Amino acid sequence: MTVEITKYPDRSQWPALMRRAVAETRELHDTVASIMDQVREQGDKALRELALKYDGVQLGDLAVSPAEMQQACDQVSQELKAAIDQAAANIATFHKAQRMHELEVETSPGVTCCQRAVPITRVGLYIPGGNSPLFSTVLMLGLPARIAGCSQVVMCTPCGRDGKVNAAILYAARKCGISRIYKSGGAQAIAAMAWGTETIPRVSKIFGPGNRFVMEAKMQAQYNKVAIDMPAGPSEVMVVADGNADLRYVASDFLSQAEHGSDSQSTLLTTHEALASRLPQVIDELLATLPRQEMIKKSLGHSHIIVLHTLDEVIDYVNAYAPEHLILNCEECEALARRVVNAGSVFLGPYSPESAGDYASGTNHTLPTSGYAHAYSGVNLDSFTKKITFQRLTKQGLAGIGHTVETMAQAEDLMAHRLAVAVRLDK
pLDDT digits (tens, 9 = 90+) for 290-342: 999 999 999 999 999 999 999 999 999 999 999 999 999 999 999 999 999 99
Instruction: Round to whole Å and give the CA distance between 384 and 108.
Output: 32
* Cα-based angle 124, 127, 131 (whole degrees, multiple of 5): 165
CB burial of 41-56 (b: ≥16 within 10 Å; e: otherwise) equals eebbebbbebbeeebe
pLDDT digits (tens, 9 = 90+) for 68-105: 999 999 999 999 999 999 999 999 999 999 998 999 99
pLDDT value of position 25: 81
Paired sense of beta strands 304-307 and 325-329, if any: unpaired
Mean pLDDT for 25-48 is 96
**Left, alpha or beta for 418 (phi > 0: left; psi -120 to 50: alpha)?**
alpha
Least confident span in 9-23, 193-207, 262-276, 396-410:
9-23
pLDDT reading at 132 higher than 90 = no
Catalytic-labelled residue, pool 313, 325, 354, 365: 325
Dihedral (CA of 120, 122, 124, 125) sign: positive
pLDDT reading at 426 higher than 80 = yes
- Tell me the CATH class for 4-21+234-362: alpha beta
Per-domain boundaries in the chain = 4-21+234-362, 25-228, 394-426
Is residue 123 within 8 Å of 386, Cβ to Cβ?
A: no
At residue 114 the predicted structure's pLDDT band, cuts being 50, 70 and 90, is: very high
pLDDT reading at 343 higher than 80 = yes
Counting residues of the chain whose pLDDT is more than 90, the rounded percentage is 92
Counting residues of the chain whose pLDDT is more than 70, the rounded percentage is 99
At residue 194 the predicted structure's pLDDT band, cuts being 50, 70 and 90, is: very high
Paired sense of beta strands 385-393 and 111-119, if any: antiparallel
* Residue 161 buriedness (CB in 10 A; 0-12 / 13-18 / 19+): exposed
pLDDT reading at 147 higher than 80 = yes
* Cα-based angle 208, 15, 302 (whole degrees, multiple of 5): 60
pLDDT value of position 21: 79
CB burial of 19-37 (b: ≥16 within 10 Å; e: otherwise) equals eebeeeeeebeeebbebbe
C-alpha distances in angstroms, 46 versus 52, 148, 163, 397? Answer: 10, 33, 17, 57
Mean pLDDT for 158-170 is 95
- What SS3 class is residue 189? helix
Instruction: Round to whole Å and give the CA distance between 324 and 314.
Output: 16
325 included as an active-site residue:
yes
Instruction: For the chain, give the mean pLDDT.
Output: 96
At residue 144 the predicted structure's pLDDT band, cuts being 50, 70 and 90, is: very high
pLDDT value of position 233: 82
pLDDT digits (tens, 9 = 90+) for 197-242: 999 999 999 999 998 899 999 999 999 999 999 988 889 999 999 9
Catalytic-labelled residue, pool 216, 259, 324, 406: 324
Cα Rg, the chain, nearest whole Å: 25
C-alpha distances in angstroms, 97 versus 93, 119, 141, 175, 380? Answer: 6, 16, 16, 19, 11
Instruction: Round to whole Å and give the CA distance between 231 and 379.
Output: 12
At residue 1 the predicted structure's pLDDT band, cuts being 50, 70 and 90, is: low
Fold topology of 25-228: Rossmann fold (3.40.50)
Instruction: Round to whole Å and give the CA distance between 124 and 203.
Output: 6
pLDDT reading at 416 higher than 90 = yes
Is residue 168 within 8 Å of 136, Cβ to Cβ?
A: no
pLDDT digits (tens, 9 = 90+) for 356-370: 999 999 999 999 999
Mean pLDDT for 110-132 is 93
pLDDT reading at 345 higher than 70 = yes
pLDDT value of position 301: 92
pLDDT value of position 23: 65
Q: What are phi and psi of 111, to 5 degrees?
A: -120, 110
Dihedral angle at the C-alpha atoms of 134, 353, 259, 315, nearest 10 degrees? 120
pLDDT value of position 2: 73
pLDDT value of position 232: 84
